[in-house]
Amino acid sequence: MAEIVCPNCRKAFKVDESSYANILKQVRDKVFTEQVQQMENAARKDKDNAVELTRLEEASKFQKEFAEKNSTIQELSSEIQRYELKKEMEVNAATTSLEKENARLSNMIDTEKLEVKNQLNELKNGHALAIKDLEGEVERLRDLKIRQSTKMLGESLEQHCSIEFERIRATAFPRAEFRKDNDVSSGSKGDYIFRDFDADGTEYISIMFDMKNESDETKTKKKNENFLKELDKDRTEKGCEYAVLVTLLEQESELYNDGIVEKCHLYEKMYVIRPQYFIQLISILRNAAMNSIQYRRELALAKAENIDITNFEVELESFKNSFAINRERATRKFEVVISEIDKSIERLGKAKEALLAVGNNLRIANDKAQSITVKRLTKDSPSLADEFQRLRDEGLDQA
């Protein structure tokens, strides 16, 4: 029997061998189980520690990568912020500059509007004064028409235009001429001719003026167009570029009372005006012509060059014609001389042949003469032979 003490109550009790063996086995199994459990717990704990360590390492690695990426993101974000700030500053600067420019332009526009408004007011005031002056002038002219005859009215209109021109000649037209047309060689004449010149003395504009008027008592009322044909004729004959009729005819016509009237559809460079537009029209035509001075100079130079070329071509053609005529004459004479030379050569050839024939005959005659002897000559004349013998003998005796 085995005695076992209870660990709790401290009481001893006895058990047989089989029971003791069973208890011991139970104790052994429990210890083993506990040891296995402890080992399992330790293994599980080691596993959990390893997993936790791995998780921590992965978490640390992730945090590190996240920190690096976050740093990159922060840098990019900072760069984006700097770029946006720069752009914002540039936009603000541009906007400020644009606003300043807009403000400046707005001020300029406001200033110009004010100036234009002032100018319009001045023009309105000036126009009102001009209208008032024109109305006064019209009334004065109407009163003048009533007081004077038709001839005196015409003469006064000429004097009016002449006086108006002389008033501003020194300042507006220092090199211009405004003279009466006294040349009646063509059978008619205008009233005045205006000519202006540049600094070189070259005329660049000319205007033929005719002044027409009539009193209210005149029975036959004439129209302005009745005088245009004759005025155009005078303009052409006097070599003027423009023709202008200054008229008080057709007093009730709105067309002629409204301003400068062009008649270029009827006659070239023809205008009809009231006296109040006299200086204005001269200024308009003169200013337009001044713009063409350089063109006129170039045209005159081109014409001069063309004239020189034409003269050269004419002289060259004349020389060629004269040379051709002289050449033809010389050729004819040369042919005559050649013909005469050919004839002379032919005659000389014939003379040569004749001379050769004469020389041959002379040679033959000489040969014959050389062969002649007294004996042969007196062969058939015995008496002549005797006489030659006698003369020979006498000669010997004298010797």
Determine the Cα angle at 240 with ends 194 and 166, to 5°: 5
The CATH architecture annotation of domain 151-291 reads: 3-Layer(aba) Sandwich (3.40)
Q: Provide the pLDDT for residue 149.
A: 39
β strands within the chain, DSSP E? 2-5, 12-15, 177-180, 192-197, 203-212, 242-247, 261-262, 270-273
Quote the crossing angle between the two packed helices 17-147 and 150-172, to the nearest 10°: 130
Task: Please compute the mean of the pLDDT values over residues 124-141 and round it to a whole number.
Answer: 67
CB of 213 closer than 8 Å to CB of 248: yes
For the beta carbon of residue 161, count every other beta carbon within 10 angstroms. Answer: 21
Q: Delimit the domains of the chain by residue range.
A: 151-291
CB-based burial label for 15 (10 Å; 0-12, 13-18, 19+): middle
CB of 192 closer than 8 Å to CB of 179: yes
pTM: 0.40
Pairing status of strand 203-212 against strand 192-197 = antiparallel
Find all residues with CB under 8 Å of 268, minimum gap 6, and list them: 232
For the beta carbon of residue 76, count every other beta carbon within 10 angstroms. Answer: 10
Q: Provide the pLDDT for residue 263.
A: 93
- Distance in Å from the first CA to the final CA of the chain: 242
User: With bands split at pLDDT 50, 70 and 90, how would you rate the model's confidence at 91?
Assistant: confident
Task: Please compute the mean of the pLDDT values over residues 116-137 and round it to a whole number.
Answer: 69
Question: Burial code of 105-140, b = ≥16 C-beta within 10 A, e = fewer?
Answer: eeeeeeeeeeeeeeeeeeeeeeeeeeeeeeeeebee
The percent of residues in the chain predicted with pLDDT above 70, rounded, is 67
The pLDDT tens digits of the residues spanning 258-277 come to 889 999 999 999 999 999 89
Find all residues with CB under 8 Å of 296, minimum gap 6, and list them: 202, 204
Q: Is residue 201 pLDDT above 90, yes or no? A: no
